[in-house]
Amino acid sequence: MKRLITVLMFGMLFALSLPLLADAASKQETQESKILINFLESMKNGDIDGVIKYVNDERFESTKRLKEEYKLLLFKDKLVEYEIIENKENNYFIVNLSFENGGVSKVPFTINSDKVNINSESLDTDDFEVIKEGEDLTIRPLHTLCDWHFSARNQGSTFYSDCEFNISGTSSLDVLLTQETSISGVTPGIVYSVVKKHWYGDDVWGSRYVSGTKSSPYSTTITGKSDSFTGAQMRFETDTNSKGARYEGIGSVLK
């Protein structure tokens, strides 16, 4: 009789503990889902700092390199929509990603130590599938006239883009850019000019001064003096600062 009572009591305690175990598992799953959603929302909104906060990408050896690469990838693979379609395990999710270039892919994500974990083998699985190929924007992201990427540029310096382009039928150009300094607290300022460079000086078509840290792609317009200009380049003039901060940035002149 005592043995029967003991078995019954153990059974009751086990039954009572099941909701607690299920609730704990649910909270864990919710936490990991939240990490993934925060990462995807940051990527969708072009929030570089948010992306870095929630990702551990083993392909890049430093945070600086990670930041540089992700800024470029935001142009190439601009996320517009996502849908979590399956949660195979607490930390393993399958997500449909839709991109601005029209592409759609089914992508697996693993959450470890409160981070989305990415490495060189992340897509080496049957769970990854390209559902629809997007338009190839690798060479000219967002259909651009000119692209640039600079880093470790001195304060108070002047330099130029490698690319050249022509302007025809418009007196204004849309520009998408990022700009930052190497020292926290130093506000970057750069004059962006469209010029035709000569050995005797620069023929300036138009300029725009941009002040402030722009970690995510920032849109501005440069208005010029005519609707026709050939052999143009971008010229960059960085502000001076007392701390010797260096400049980095990427950008494009859009068609």
Secondary structure, 3-state, the chain: CHHHHHHHHHHHHHHHHHHHHHHHHHHHHHHHHHHHHHHHHHHHCCCHHHHHHCEEECCCCCHHHHHHHHHHHHHHCCEEEEEEEEEEECCEEEEEEEECCCCEEEEEEEEECCEEEECCCCCCCCCCEEEECCCCCCCCCCCEEEEEEEEEECCCCEEECCCCEEEECCCEEEEEEEEEECCCCCCCEEEEEEEEEECCEEEEEEEEEEECCEEEEEEEEEECCCCEEEEEEEEEEECCCCCCCCEEEEEEEEC
Give the Cα separation of 227 and 237 in Å (integer): 24
Bin 46: left if φ > 0, else alpha if -120 < ψ < 50, else beta.
Answer: left
Q: Is residue 2 part of a domain?
A: no
| pLDDT (0 to 100) of residue 68 | 79
Average of per-residue pLDDT across 226-239 = 93
Tell which of 77, 99, 132 closes a domain.
132
Question: Who wins on pLDDT, 74 or 39?
Answer: 39
170 and 125, same structural domain?
no
Mean pLDDT of the chain: 83
9-23, 25-39, 230-244: least confidently modelled range: 9-23
Tell which of 103, 132, 161 closes a domain.
132
Task: Enumerate residues 6+ apart whose C-beta is below 8 A from 103.
Answer: 77, 130, 132, 133, 134, 135
| pLDDT (0 to 100) of residue 243 | 86
Give the Cα separation of 74 and 97 in Å (integer): 14
Q: Is residue 222 part of a domain?
A: yes
Q: How far is CA 67 from CA 33, 70, 74, 227, 249, in A?
A: 24, 5, 11, 36, 11
149 and 126, same structural domain?
no
218 and 187, same structural domain?
yes
Q: Is residue 65 part of a domain?
A: yes
171 and 71, same structural domain?
no
Q: Minimal CA–CA distance to 69: which of 78, 79, 59?
A: 59
pLDDT in tens, 101-125: 888 989 999 999 999 998 877 888 8
Q: Domain count for the chain, please give it.
A: 2
Q: Is residue 138 part of a domain?
A: no
**Phi and psi (nearest 5°) for 32?**
-70, -35
- pLDDT class of 29 with cuts at 50, 70, 90: low
Question: Who wins on pLDDT, 73 or 95?
Answer: 95
Q: Is residue 12 part of a domain?
A: no
28-32, 59-63, 150-154: least confidently modelled range: 28-32
Q: pTM for the full model?
A: 0.52
Range(s) of the domain holding residue 177: 144-254
Q: Is residue 17 part of a domain?
A: no
224 and 155, same structural domain?
yes
199 and 151, same structural domain?
yes
Q: Is residue 186 part of a domain?
A: yes
| pLDDT (0 to 100) of residue 216 | 84
Return the structure tokens found at 34.
């939240």
244 and 152, same structural domain?
yes
112 and 148, same structural domain?
no
7-21, 67-81, 158-172, 181-195: least confidently modelled range: 7-21
153 and 102, same structural domain?
no
175 and 229, same structural domain?
yes
DSSP state, 119?
A: -
Residue type, 38: N
247 and 155, same structural domain?
yes
Percent of the chain at pLDDT exceeding 90? 46
Tell which of 132, 156, 181 closes a domain.
132
Q: Is residue 175 part of a domain?
A: yes
Instruction: Give whichever of 20-24, 56-60, 102-106 has the largest mean pLDDT.
Output: 102-106
CATH assignment at residue 229: 2.60.120
CATH assignment at residue 72: 3.10.450.50
| pLDDT (0 to 100) of residue 39 | 93
162 and 126, same structural domain?
no
